[in-house]
């Protein structure tokens, strides 16, 4: 792994660690409650699943298949009675951590400059990794606000 790749890895993993804290700090009541159109649990699974989605766009030699998030990420029409438990979310997070560890292990700095297309926009592999880190940080902040507004401790 190159020096710049390590910077991206550290940023992504720091956010993943914070998302794990947001799962662990959440009460069952908040876990199954809807905020801003999405259930709390669904927002976390969406954030975690984004790593597989974003990086699945990239082809890096030796990278494993992306985690299967589609069956977990139910989005706005989710039925609260079908909420995935915190244990399921933590297991999905650990699967994603394994995927990310393998992904970054095979990432060289020169690959970061490779051209890529991301949701119809021209960018680079590094640009996609940057967007992933920002996307994860957004969800850490959103989840932290929800926890604090409900009398719970956020990750930050």
What are the structural domain ranges in the chain?
3-149
Q: Assign a CATH topology to domain 3-149.
A: 1.20.120
Query: Buried (b) or exposed (e) across 88-98, using 16+ Cβ within 10 A?
Result: ebeebbebbbe
pLDDT in tens, 59-83: 554 444 555 544 444 344 456 556 7
Q: Within 13 Å, how many C-alpha atoms sit on residue 147's CB side?
A: 24
Question: What's the predicted TM-score (pTM) here?
Answer: 0.85
Neighbours of 138 (CB within 10 A): 12
pLDDT in tens, 96-142: 898 889 888 888 899 899 998 888 899 999 999 999 999 999 999 99
Q: Are 84 and 72 in contact (CB under 8 A)?
A: yes
Give one word for 37, left, alpha or beta, with left for phi > 0 and alpha for psi -120 to 50.
left
């Amino acid at each position: 792994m190159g020096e710049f790749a390590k910077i991206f890895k550290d940023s992504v993993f720091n956010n993943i660690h914070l998302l794990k804290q947001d799962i662990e700090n959440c009460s069952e009541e908040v876990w199954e409650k809807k905020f801003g159109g999405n259930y709390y649990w669904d927002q976390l699974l969406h954030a975690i699943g984004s790593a597989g989605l974003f990086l699945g766009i990239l082809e890096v030699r030796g990278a494993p298949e992306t985690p299967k998030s589609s069956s977990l990420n139910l989005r706005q029409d989710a039925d609260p009675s079908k909420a995935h438990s915190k244990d399921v979310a933590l297991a999905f997070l650990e699967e994603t951590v394994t995927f990310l560890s393998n992904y970054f292990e095979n990432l060289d700095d020169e690959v970061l400059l490779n051209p890529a297309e991301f949701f119809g926009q021209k960018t680079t592999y590094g640009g996609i990794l940057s967007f992933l880190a920002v996307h994860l940080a957004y969800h850490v902040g959103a989840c932290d606000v929800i926890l604090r507004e409900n009398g719970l401790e956020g990750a930050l």
